[in-house]
Structure 1
Amino acid sequence: MKIGVQVKLMPDAAQASALSATLRVVNERANWVSAVAFEHGVPREYELRKHTYSELKASGLGAQVAQHTIKKVRDAYTTLKANLRAGNLGRPGSKRRVKTESKPVMFRPEAAQPFDDRCLSWQYHARTVSIWTTAGRLKNVRFACSANALKMLCEYRKGESDLIERGGVFYLVAVCEISEAPVNENPSGFIGVDLGIVNIATTSTGYRAAGRGVNRHRKRQQDLRTKLQAKGTKSAKRRLKLRGRKESRHVANINHVISKKIVTTAERTGRGIALEDLTGIRDRVRLRKDQRTQLHAWSFHQLGQFIAYKALRAGVPLVYVDPAYTSQQCSQCGHIDRKNRVDQATFACRACGVIMHADDNASHNINRKGEAVWTAGRESRVPATP
């Protein structure tokens, strides 16, 4: 399992200038490679290298950096093709899709650049790195990180690290390969997790993460964005970027806390975790105009990813279930009726009369479906011997 560990670089003025210039040069060269790739119909990486490698070397890039620049461009086109195939950029013939397909991929001047062990070396105990730049090799560039991050780097770092500039601050994101824990093949049950907007997560064990604080924070940030967008000045645009990053960090931190709580409970009790498969929910659901902002700001996918990788590290079984009727079906008698859902928070079964919180009822339905999915996956499909 691969995990990215981010450290903050603390270069002096001369080192910061060299790092900034390096990013701008390699991304300018990446834009040239992208134009060549677009002109030749986006060839495979080996063919693209034949068209561009010599020119990159002649322009001052080192051999490894030139290789990584070509690979970065080819990977960008692979990602673009996947997004087009998935319909993330609109339907064929749509204005957005036609505009995207009609021009080469472009890279921002401060876009991330990968470095391998030939271009970047770590001195963990000294907390410094040595890195290639267009101005030569920089040595003793200090970095800062938490004790846990440093321990993970020392034990598990392997492969490439990405150099990133964000708001004038430089970061390195290193890849750490961590061995996965053996999965518990005989869980004592499953914890059903109902994801929502009013309540971020509700589990069948009784844990409920209220979304009141996050929603208030988002509403406050949205009001501030509206005011800044109305100004339209350079300073306002700069503040908009800072606000956006701050909101993303705030939401990610909350999702980390919730996912850790859920996975820790499952590990301690020897159970698995059952999540709803909410793929494509934004395309299926139709809401009023005043509700669309909340739906599109809903970070259920990020929370699901956090739960998935934490479960993988802890050896906790994880299954995905069909979300159909989990909010309309009674977890006690199984009766399905749209009228069972009285309002957002109340569930009242029309058949057996049970009344409970709607999210609690849904989490119990997900729990039951999770056990069924796990059992079906473990059953033998080989025909019985006559």
Structure 2
Amino acid sequence: MKLVVRVKVLPTPLQAAALEATLHACNEAATWAASVAFENEARRPLELRKHTYAEIRERWGLGAQAAQHAIKKTCDAYTTLKANLRNGRYGRPGTKRHTRASGKPVVFRPQAAQPYDDRMLSWQHQARTVSIWTTAGRLKGVAFTGQAEQLEVLAAHRQGESDLLFRDGKWFLIATCEIPEGDLNTHPVGFLGVDLGIVNIAVTSDGERHCGRRINRKRERDRKLRSKLQKKQTKSAKRRAKKYAGKEARRNKDINHKISKRIVAEAERTGRGISLETLTGIRERARLRKPQRTTLHSWPFAQLGSFIAYKAKRAGVPVVYVDPAYTSQECSLCHHTERGNRPAQAVFACRVCGFVDHADHNASHNIAHRGWYVWVCGAQSMAPELTLIA
């Protein structure tokens, strides 16, 4: 199982200047290669290499490996663009957005991430330094840091390329690690159902609620602050907005990590699997008032699901996905399904058997039941191949 670990790089001012110049040169070369690929319809690495390799090395002074990576990055960008166009990411063919995306070469930002292989980057884990290639020569003794758990995973399981990234004035290295999977529990005693929502981000069939009210109030204050700063358009407002950029996303990610860790730990402790809702169309299914729509569309439900999946895979906990249709209207006791069973947002009251429960708790029981049926039929989940854990 592949995971991605991000560590912070701590270069000196001279080292940072060399790294920045390297990123600029590599991305300028990749942008030029993208224009050549667009003009010559050469979007495969071997074909594009014939048109660009020699000039990239001579014009930008890149080493052999850096030039190869710049060309491969260009081809990968066109492959991603083609897939997005095919899947309707830019609308239908003929629309302005589709034409604009497909009618011009790919352009890379000056500080876009640059891949490094083992010939260009070596790790000294005990000293917590790296030796890294730059256009100014090889830099040795560049310090990096991270959480203890991250560094242990990095030292034991790193494989393949690492990406050098500059973001918000900070340097990072993103490394791919191959993590061994835990022995799958092939005979779970049951399934822990997880219902996702807005008022409660996640509710388990054990009755544990991960409440979202306090979080949503904080997010609403952040949105009002962003709106206020955007309207001012002063230098100080822009400086403050930049300071807070990404703060909400980082907080949401931290919350999702904590929720997923608790859910997986409980399932592992009790010998059960985890039953999740199929997230496809979750935003289209929900009917909310206008003030609630921003809250729904800005919460990373897919991220929470992927965190649960990869943590469960590491622990050997089986995960299944079920159809969430009518789980909020179905009685978990007698399975009578009726819209009138939900007299209020948080209340479930079955009109046939009289069973009363919290609506999200009742739905999580239905998801757990459906998870068991899916497991019996022989279907189980696949965790995402790459998940950022830092």
**TM-score, scaled relative to structure 2:** 0.93
Please name the residue that 1:360 is paired with: 361
Aligned pairs for 1:72-151 (under 5 A) are 72-151=73-152
Q: In 1, are the aligned partners of 2:342 and 2:359 still within 8 Å (CA)?
A: yes
Please name the residue that 2:383 is paired with: none
2-side partners of 1:49 and 1:368: how far apart?
A: 55
2-side partners of 1:286 and 1:38: how far apart?
A: 44
Please name the residue that 1:31 is paired with: 31
Q: 1:227 to 1:193 in 2, by over 3 A?
A: same
Long gaps (5+) in structure 1: 380-386
Q: In 2, are the aligned partners of 1:345 and 1:357 still within 8 Å (CA)?
A: yes
Q: In 2, are the aligned partners of 1:112 and 1:165 still within 8 Å (CA)?
A: yes
Please name the residue that 1:222 is paired with: 223
1-side partners of 2:330 and 2:223: how far apart?
A: 35
Q: 1:233 to 1:76 in 2, by over 3 A?
A: farther
Please name the residue that 2:249 is paired with: 248
Letter of the 1:340 partner, please give it.
N
Letter of the 1:204 partner, please give it.
S
Letter of the 2:326 partner, please give it.
Y
2-side partners of 1:17 and 1:82: how far apart?
A: 36
Q: 1:152 to 1:336 in 2, by over 3 A?
A: same
Aligned pairs for 1:115-194 (under 5 A) are 115-194=116-195
Please name the residue that 2:18 is paired with: 18
1-side partners of 2:42 and 2:253: how far apart?
A: 35
Q: 1:284 to 1:364 in 2, by over 3 A?
A: closer
The alpha carbon displacement at 1:279 in A equals 1.1
1-side partners of 2:131 and 2:86: how far apart?
A: 40
Letter of the 1:47 partner, please give it.
E
Deviates more, 1:80-89 or 1:63-72: 80-89
The alpha carbon displacement at 1:235 in A equals 4.7
The alpha carbon displacement at 1:85 in A equals 2.6
> Residues 46-98 of structure 1, C-alpha deviation per residue, up to 9 Å, x if partnerless?
21222211111112111111111111111122222222233233333333222
1-side partners of 2:88 and 2:286: how far apart?
A: 17
Please name the residue that 2:371 is paired with: 370
The alpha carbon displacement at 1:291 in A equals 2.8
The alpha carbon displacement at 1:237 in A equals 3.6
1-side partners of 2:63 and 2:237: how far apart?
A: 39
1-side partners of 2:343 and 2:2: how far apart?
A: 44
Letter of the 1:194 partner, please give it.
D
1-side partners of 2:42 and 2:223: how far apart?
A: 40
Q: Secondary structure of 1:377's partner?
A: coil
Between 1 and 2, higher relative CO (CA 8 Å, sep ≥ 6) is seen in 2
Please name the residue that 1:49 is paired with: 49
Q: Secondary structure of 1:263's partner?
A: helix
Q: Tell me the matched-pair count.
A: 379
Please name the residue that 1:5 is paired with: 5
2-side partners of 1:22 and 1:174: how far apart?
A: 19
Q: In 2, are the aligned partners of 1:196 and 1:300 still within 8 Å (CA)?
A: no
Q: In 1, are the aligned partners of 2:320 and 2:379 still within 8 Å (CA)?
A: no
Q: 1:47 to 1:239 in 2, by over 3 A?
A: farther
Letter of the 2:25 partner, please give it.
V
Q: 1:285 to 1:94 in 2, by over 3 A?
A: farther
2-side partners of 1:236 and 1:297: how far apart?
A: 23
**TM-score, scaled relative to structure 1:** 0.94
Q: 1:156 to 1:45 in 2, by over 3 A?
A: same
Q: What RMSD over aligned residues (CA atoms) do the two structures have, in Å?
A: 1.7
2-side partners of 1:119 and 1:223: how far apart?
A: 45
Deviates more, 1:158-167 or 1:237-246: 237-246
Please name the residue that 1:257 is paired with: 258
Q: Secondary structure of 1:107's partner?
A: coil
Letter of the 2:73 partner, please give it.
K
- Percent identity reads 63
2-side partners of 1:234 and 1:86: how far apart?
A: 40
2-side partners of 1:284 and 1:221: how far apart?
A: 26
The alpha carbon displacement at 1:8 in A equals 1.0
Please name the residue that 2:385 is paired with: none
Q: Secondary structure of 2:245's partner?
A: helix
Long gaps (5+) in structure 2: 381-390
1-side partners of 2:251 and 2:137: how far apart?
A: 38
Letter of the 2:121 partner, please give it.
L
> Residues 283-330 of structure 1, C-alpha deviation per residue, up to 9 Å, x if partnerless?
454544333211210211010010010011001000100111111111
